[in-house]
Amino acid sequence: MADTPNINELREACGSDELSHVFTFLESQDMTEDEGFLIRMGDESTKLRAKLDKRNDTIDEAWSFGPDNEVAKAGEHCLVESQVKDRRRLDLIAQLLLLTREGLEEKKAHIEKIKAIQAQKRGLGSPVFDKLGAELAKTTLSIPATKGFEFGSGFADIECFSYELAGSGYVFSPNRTNRLLSYLLNGTGYMNCLV
């Protein structure tokens, strides 16, 4: 196996040896950092906009002193130069925010891709085991006192004779159902166990 100190460190940090968990953990950490960055830069952008608005008012006030006031004229010139630079900064922050948001969407797509690959790896059982009924059964049966879970007539079928089930609308195919019933019947035609 290759020397992978960074991956090993990530495995320890996320608490799993599966690579899908490692890379999902890494992408999630990056997303959290990016979201924090967006908040900080959004606040910075808001402050800079307020500063630009206030400076505009100050430029207007300096202009009101007239063209003959040299100090007001020099001050206005300095304020205009600062205004141009700060507008450029605001534009760059906007571009940076946009780039960061695009990066977040890419990372979400990466996580979904990793999950899709992991789901394919699970094999044939995934389409069955990931269905809602299976998830409900798993969740319910994880409660310590729970001993069973039913859909439809469920446990009521245990106390029925096989011929009663046959007459209730169930379709028994000789290939599958009768074989299953032979395991569930105790020889008297009465079902007494639940698998």
Q: Which helix (H) or strand (E) holds 81?
A: helix 70-122
CA atoms within 13 A on the CB side of 3: 0
Tens digits of pLDDT across the chain (195 residues): 456 778 888 888 888 888 888 888 889 999 999 999 999 999 999 999 999 999 999 988 888 888 888 888 888 899 999 999 999 999 999 999 999 999 999 999 999 988 888 877 655 445 555 566 677 677 777 777 666 666 656 655 556 655 555 555 444 444 433 333 433 444 444 443 333
- Domain boundaries defined on the chain: 18-110
Phi-psi region of 15 (alpha: psi -120 to 50; beta: other; left: phi over 0): left
Residue 191: Cβ within 10 Å count: 18
